[in-house]
Amino acid sequence: MKRSRLIQTEGLPDPEAFGPGAVLVYDRRLTRGLRRFAAWSRRFPARYPVQAGEALKAVDAFPEHARKLVKLAGGFSRRESVLVCAGGGSVGDFGGFAASVLRRGIGLVHIPSTWLAAIDSAHGGKTALNVAGAKNQIGTFYPADAVHLVKNLLFSQPPARAPEALSEFIKVALIDGGPWAKRILTSSLRGADLVWTHLKSAIRAKMRVVEVDPEETGGHRQILNFGHTLGHVLEAHHGLPHGSAVAQGQLFALDWSRIKVGLTDDDHAAFRDLLIRHTGQKPGPGALPRIPRRTFLTLLGRDKKSVALTGVTFVFLKGLGRPVRRRVIHEEVAEQAAAHGWI
Ligand SMILES: NC(=O)c1ccc[n+]([C@@H]2O[C@H](COP(=O)([O-])OP(=O)(O)OC[C@H]3O[C@@H](n4cnc5c(N)ncnc54)[C@H](O)[C@@H]3O)[C@@H](O)[C@H]2O)c1
Ligand SMILES: [Zn+2]
């Protein structure tokens, strides 16, 4: 898979660097909230403001977007044309898809504006559109030429957003286990400062996994689903935000890993504390009502990691940087979830 150039800077890149055929696709909210962004956006030869969110990714809306983008990019060759996508994951998924199909693939640059996009969705090349409300049913693998990580833009988010993103960030640290992950275990930094300091390391760790299995054919990329088996159920049933759901899913997976793959008590305590400290999640359902068993099993069956109809590939953790994929039957997951009070 093509490697995207990673550029980490304080301020937004010079628009002229993207050439005369650049089209800025951006979350229009950014020009409202950020004066500097508005002035910067006007320096692009062509601009395409969009409303962030799942509706942007609706396949039905795509022909109209395509018509406008083709017009904006008109007059430039395929090689000169580049979409520069500034925004969160929805803008990146939409813009990435558009770049991958316009004239069979034009240039693509991501400038993520949310922590989720900076850590996760801008990397790995997945683009996506939604079909009739079903997420990510259409898409391509199309890595960006470059991803710009811009401090001023990312820190313009409300600080309360950071704990949500920390869930995926810690997930990558736990499954990677490199020196940066060890530093995180004892770091006194919090929230956005912690993410910013180790952002490139976290991205490179994700990319090491993706490069082994770029198109999700070999199974290795499944280790990135650590915490997501229960997480997706909680997201679907209780409507928990993705980060919170995945933090709960990781706490659950850590507990189960002691029995299944011999995660030591010391490691278990250290990883559990790390998740609680940075995501603000308290383990367990708390005040959430129990999920009916049948509903739970149905939701589990819908999980994309499901194997056939009876089992899922569950990601356990044997130690720092030692994820283990194991096939488990749905009933076994339900039993564990019941023991934790989720069912
Ligand atoms: N391609 C992938 O690998 C991948 C991975 C994970 C998620 N995703 C996709 O990413 C999307 C979710 O990501 P997201 O939460 O970044 O989406 P988003 O683009 O919908 O942004 C969420 C909200 O934050 C606002 N926003 C963006 N930047 C801001 C800023 N700097 N300050 C204040 N508000 C800001 C947006 O206007 C929007 O209201 C989903 O569509 C999901 O499917 C894709
Ligand atoms: Zn996730």
pLDDT in tens, 194-207: 999 999 999 999 99
Q: Please, what's the b/e burial string for 271-286 (b: 16 or more CB within 10 A of its CB; e: otherwise)?
A: beebbeebbbbebebe
Distance (Å, rounded) from C-alpha 267 to C-alpha 272? 8
* Cβ of 49 below 6 Å from ligand 1: no
Q: Is 129 in the pocket of ligand 1 (CB under 6 A)?
A: no
Mutate to test the pocket of ligand 1, among 34, 41, 54, 93 (most ligand atoms within 8 A of CB): 93
Give mean pLDDT, residues 221-250: 95
Q: What is the CA radius of gyration of the chain?
A: 20
Length of the chain: 343
Residues 324/332, Cβ–Cβ less than 8 Å: no
Q: Is the CB of 243 under 6 A from ligand 1?
A: no
Q: If you take atom 2 of ligand 1, which residue's CA is the nearest one?
A: 121
Residue 304 reports pLDDT greater than 70: no
What is this structure's pTM? Answer: 0.93
Q: Which amino acid is at 159?
A: P
Ligand 1 binding pocket includes 91 (Cβ within 6 Å): yes
CB 98 within 8 A of CB 106: no
* CB of 121 closer than 6 angstroms to any ligand 1 atom: yes
Residue 170 in this model has a pLDDT that exceeds 60: yes
Nearest ligand by distance to the CA of 216: 1
CA of 225 to the centre of ligand 2 (A): 7
- Helices 179-186 and 191-212: crossing angle in degrees, nearest 10, is 150
Give the pLDDT of residue 194.
97
Measured CA to CA, the distance from residue 186 to residue 278 in angstroms comes to 12
